[in-house]
């Protein structure tokens, strides 16, 4: 009876428990259905994006990565300037809670280049200010660890130059507001900040590898000769593109301090000098074109100094005899070049120099361009001295562009720092005949083979060029102990591709240069070391089986030797 009576009670309990299980199961099933529906909706939505909004999505994502200021790259795409999100350290003095003297000392330990007093002055000021306009992540972490709520760490756009000083005078820099203040940063200001254009980097004509080699060789030469400055440029003779440009001493555009600001002047495009005997080939080319020199074997009197208008023109290494045109160039005779210039006359000399742009600032995008010193009183003596590079002052870039025209067939093209498509090279303008240019290639090669430029000869690269050493002007005359020593070269002379101009400012003679400070001893060797480094980078390989044919002219060299 008792067992029978208990059975209904247990059944009721079982019926109650079964009800709970059923309810839980139903809830789970509902959740599963909802979850499945949500997943299905997401999948369908993603599929919709993929099918119908792919291009729109791509554009949206791409646009989010457009820099505030466009990148600048070299001709091979190597980054030279780009904008990044950098750290700043911002101070709100009224929110500082700790001891301000202790905090100033702690900050000075993190930033030892700034005195404790300056930090304390900022901490006790009445206005928010930068503790540090730019800081490294490590420095930010250390300041953050100080635990002050009155110090914040905003991210701000910063212009970064990954190669530091490598191309400082080409790139220039931006100010704290992000505006270009020098170099191509200034030239390209609109292009780099245009929202429709800044996503695409601007490619310069510079090759970072060649730029590095040029800077390295200039730096070595400057140090070894104790020069106060050095500059160099490498120019494509067929397009006018500047493949490398360096001016020393330089500056770091990432952090332009007072010392760096003193070095902002661009020695290639701004500094104007009398470039001495490098002008002699230009004078001879003008005479060949004008017909005042028809026969290179014609001899000129170089037995004694030339006296004109109370002025004496002499040779540093007198030949003491009558010499022909190739001998005059190979041995760098001022006397004979002056006579050739005299025969050419002022009008034709002036026309040649103006056609090469020597009467105006160099043709280049940069704003930093020097104005040549043009003769104010041009008489017969001026024509003669200009013939050998005195009485007129131009920049090394002027000279490089002129030498390009001398060797490329006679076409002058303005120089550029922007990369040019191979099929869009500018036509330029003719300044020398093709025949004259061919003859100058021979003569320039002879100067390196057997003349004052022999220290520039690098086996297999067929270098041609001319030395030039000129005293720097001073009040009332010239400084006899201060030279600008320049070597202007081209290679390979059988098919010229590039011009190289190297200048050293006030080099000193050393044991390595036989205590000479003229261009043949200090500037020409730079080219000899440089060309084998950059030739392969530029597609010019050494070949001892090829050279410009000078066989018809070599017999005219009765004797060669020293010079300047």
Tell me, rounded to whole angstroms, the distance of Cα 550 from its chain centroid.
35
Tell me, rounded to whole angstroms, the distance of Cα 45 from its chain centroid.
52
DSSP string computed for 436-503: HHHHHHHHHHHHHHHSTTGGG--TTS--EEEEEEEEEEETTEEEEEEEEEEEEEEE-TTS--EEEEEE
Our CA angle for 333, 335, 336, nearest 5°, is: 75
- Say if CB 232 and CB 501 are below 8 A apart: yes
Burial of 138 (0-12, 13-18, 19+ CB in 10 A): exposed
Token couple for 506: 């006030």
- Say if CB 532 and CB 457 are below 8 A apart: no
- Say if CB 192 and CB 204 are below 8 A apart: no
Catalytic residue among 208, 246, 277, 560: 277
- Say if CB 227 and CB 218 are below 8 A apart: no
Burial of 486 (0-12, 13-18, 19+ CB in 10 A): buried
Q: Whole-angstrom Cα distance, residue 119 to residue 102?
A: 11
For 447, phi then psi, to 5°, come to -65, -35
Token couple for 384: 């003669």
Q: Whole-angstrom Cα distance, residue 233 to residue 547?
A: 24
- Say if CB 153 and CB 140 are below 8 A apart: yes
Q: Give catalytic status of residue 277 as yes or no.
A: yes
Q: Whole-angstrom Cα distance, residue 513 to residue 225?
A: 8
DSSP 157: E
Q: Whole-angstrom Cα distance, residue 12 to residue 452?
A: 121
Enzyme catalytic residues: 277
């Amino acid at each position: 009876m008792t067992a029978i009576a208990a059975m209904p009670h247990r059944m009721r309990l079982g019926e109650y428990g079964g009800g709970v299980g059923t309810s839980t199961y139903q809830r789970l099933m509902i959740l599963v259905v909802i979850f499945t529906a949500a997943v299905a909706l997401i999948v369908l939505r993603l599929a919709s994006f993929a099918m119908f909004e792919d291009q729109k999505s791509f554009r949206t994502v791409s646009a989010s990565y457009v820099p505030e200021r466009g990148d600048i790259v070299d001709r091979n795409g190597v980054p030279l300037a780009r904008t990044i999100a950098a750290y700043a350290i911002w101070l709100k003095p009224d929110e500082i809670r700790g001891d301000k003297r202790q905090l100033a000392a702690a900050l000075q330990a993190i930033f030892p280049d700034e005195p404790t007093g300056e930090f304390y002055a900022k901490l006790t000021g009445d206005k928010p200010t930068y503790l540090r306009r730019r800081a490294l992540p490590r420095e930010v972490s250390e300041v953050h660890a100080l635990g002050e709520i009155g110090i914040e760490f905003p991210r701000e756009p910063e212009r970064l130059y990954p190669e530091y000083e490598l191309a400082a005078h080409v790139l220039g820099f931006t100010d704290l507001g992000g505006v270009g203040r020098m170099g191509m940063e200034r030239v390209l200001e609109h292009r780099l900040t245009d929202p429709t254009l800044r996503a695409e980097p601007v490619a310069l004509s510079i090759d970072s590898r060649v730029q590095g080699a040029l800077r390295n060789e200039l730096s070595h030469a400057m140090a070894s000769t104790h020069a106060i400055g050095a500059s160099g440029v490498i120019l494509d003779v067929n397009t006018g593109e500047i493949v490398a440009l360096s001016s020393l001493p330089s500056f770091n555009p990432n952090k332009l301090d007072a010392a760096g600001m003193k070095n902002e002047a661009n020695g290639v495009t701004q500094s104007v000098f009398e470039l001495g005997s490098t002008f002699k080939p230009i004078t001879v080319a003008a005479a060949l074109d004008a017909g005042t020199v028809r026969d290179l074997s014609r001899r000129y009197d170089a037995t004694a100094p030339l006296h004109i208008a109370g002025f004496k023109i002499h040779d540093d290494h007198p030949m003491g005899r009558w010499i022909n045109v190739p001998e005059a160039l190979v041995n760098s005779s001022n006397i004979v070049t002056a006579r050739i210039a005299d025969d050419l006359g002022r009008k034709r000399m002036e026309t040649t120099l103006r056609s090469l742009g020597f009467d105006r600032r160099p043709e280049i995008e940069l704003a930093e361009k020097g104005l040549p010193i043009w003769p104010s009183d041009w008489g017969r003596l001026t024509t003669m001295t200009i013939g050998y590079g005195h009485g007129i002052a131009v920049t090394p870039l002027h000279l490089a562009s002129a030498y390009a025209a001398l060797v490329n067939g006679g076409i002058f093209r303005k120089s550029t720092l922007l990369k040019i498509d191979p099929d869009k090279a500018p036509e330029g303008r003719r300044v020398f005949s093709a025949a004259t240019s061919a003859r100058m290639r021979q003569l320039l090669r002879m100067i390196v083979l057997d003349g004052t430029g022999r220290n520039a000869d690098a086996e297999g690269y067929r270098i041609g060029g001319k030395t030039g050493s000129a005293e720097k002007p001073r009040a009332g005359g010239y400084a006899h102990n201060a030279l600008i020593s320049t070597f202007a070269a081209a290679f390979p002379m059988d098919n010229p591709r590039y011009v190289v101009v190297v200048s050293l400012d006030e080099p000193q003679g050393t044991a390595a240069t036989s205590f000479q400070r003229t261009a043949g001893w200090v500037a020409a060797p730079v080219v000899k070391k440089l060309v084998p480094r950059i030739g392969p980078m530029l597609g010019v390989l050494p070949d001892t089986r090829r050279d410009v044919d000078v066989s018809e002219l070599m017999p005219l060299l009765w004797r060669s030797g020293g010079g300047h």
